[in-house]
Amino acid sequence: MPSADPLLSDPFPFRLAKDALIVAASPFHPSRDLPTGSMSGLAGAGAGQVAEVVSSYDLDSPVFRAHEGGKLTITATQQLRDRDDLSLLYTPGVADVSMAIAENPALANRFTSKRNTVAVVSDGTAVLGLGDIGPLGAMPVMEGKAVLFKHFADVDAAPVCIETGSVDELVETIARIAPTYGGINLEDISAPRCFEIEARLKERLDIPVFHDDQHGTAIVVLAALINACRLQNRSMADLRVVVSGAGAAGVAVTRLLQRAGVADVVVCDSRGVISLERTDLQDHKPRIAATTNPRGVTGSIGEALAGADLFVGVSGGSIAEAELARMAPEAMIFALANPTPEVHPDIAHKYASIVATGRSDFPNQINNVLAFPGVFRGALDSGAKQITESMKLAAAEAIAAVVTDPTPEEIVPSVFTPGVAEAVAEAICRVAASQ
């Protein structure tokens, strides 16, 4: 009787002994059979090679062990048990599916993984607070993002970390790989390039394109403000808001707050208030000056904070107490820089009745994970071709509504509060159905 086909009986037929100090012990999962310990960090070596890795970090620490071999794998949705299965899942059966899709490309959403797959695209030029660390340095972050997509919204996300280049090169690269995916999540691409890249991809592609550093942050900030206004019985139209930071997040927060009804927003960069009087404004900042700061404030951020009701920090650095003391009574401070907020919560509480940060160890964490999983879940389920401004407003309202009885210590839900992604997805679908 012939022996069983090894490619069907063992998914890792070329595995090596567990004690082998050899890279790519399994050709299908290079880290699967690597031993733990100092030699487990064998990076940059080809198959069958042994290489010592020098690092200033403790590669045996718990955080590195949690990342050993990466945080993602690929799992088949259909079983491959015998040759009948093989003939259905691959040749000859797959040919009919391919030809049907070639005849009608819309069928790809039904008969391929495209309908539930998002590309998490980064060039590594603005990773977290780490700056330009390149595509390989960005990989662990993008893998982590993919884990969040799957856990919170059952969206399959694939990290796509690419070498940086001109705006034209990045747009062309992303557009050419787009047919594989149901959506594009842009991540950690430096400003001001990120604005043009997103805008051009939205014009070119027929799938949702969403720069999370911009819009995810803005959605959650607005959700927090909705509940803060509920607590204080205030109207957004009456607020004076100061945004510190004119990068990706600062611009998006400003625009979404304006769309939600905030009329008086002053944006500051490292040189002070962005105003029409400044002669050093470049890139996107002249447009900020033209569309914000209705009272014509000039000078330092301290001048902007005089009488302000809300401070939103998305820039890093620190704000002096003397400047915070100039804010209006019952002020709100959202100091979102990570890991070091622009204002430490202990200081912020001296001058504000409601305080939020970007950190998980303080109340009111403004965390993008409250937004992007549900946004893409809703966009994929509804077949939306774009994530519109109306969808972002609806997503913020949905997040805010999850907190049924807001308090100063809870104006946004925890990332682990059940139902957040579902509520956001439902809101996206409702808007999509009405557009």
Q: Which amino acid is at 122?
A: S
93 and 166 in contact (C-beta within 8 Å)?
no
For residues 116-146, one letter each, b for 16 or more C-beta atoms within 10 angstroms of the residue's C-beta and e for the rest, the string is bbbbbbbbbbbbeeeeeeebebbbbbbbebb
Residue reference for tokens 């205030």? 234
Separation between Cα atoms, residue 289 and residue 249, nearest integer Å: 16
Residue reference for tokens 């799938």? 207
Best CA proximity match to 251, nearest among 306, 294, 205, 315: 315
Beta pairing partners, 311: 242, 333
Count of beta carbons in the 10 Å neighbourhood of residue 186: 24
Best CA proximity match to 269, nearest among 232, 235, 300: 300
Separation between Cα atoms, residue 64 and residue 57, nearest integer Å: 9
First to last CA, the chain: 63
Task: Show contacts of 305-309: CB within 8 Å, 24+ apart.
Answer: 305/242, 307/240, 308/240, 308/241, 308/242, 308/266, 309/234, 309/238, 309/239, 309/240, 309/241
Count of beta carbons in the 10 Å neighbourhood of residue 201: 21
Determine the distance from the C-alpha atom of residue 85 to the mean position of all C-alpha atoms in its chain, rounded to a whole number: 38
- Could you list the active site residues? 90, 145
Structure tokens at 204: 């070119």
159 and 380 in contact (C-beta within 8 Å)?
no
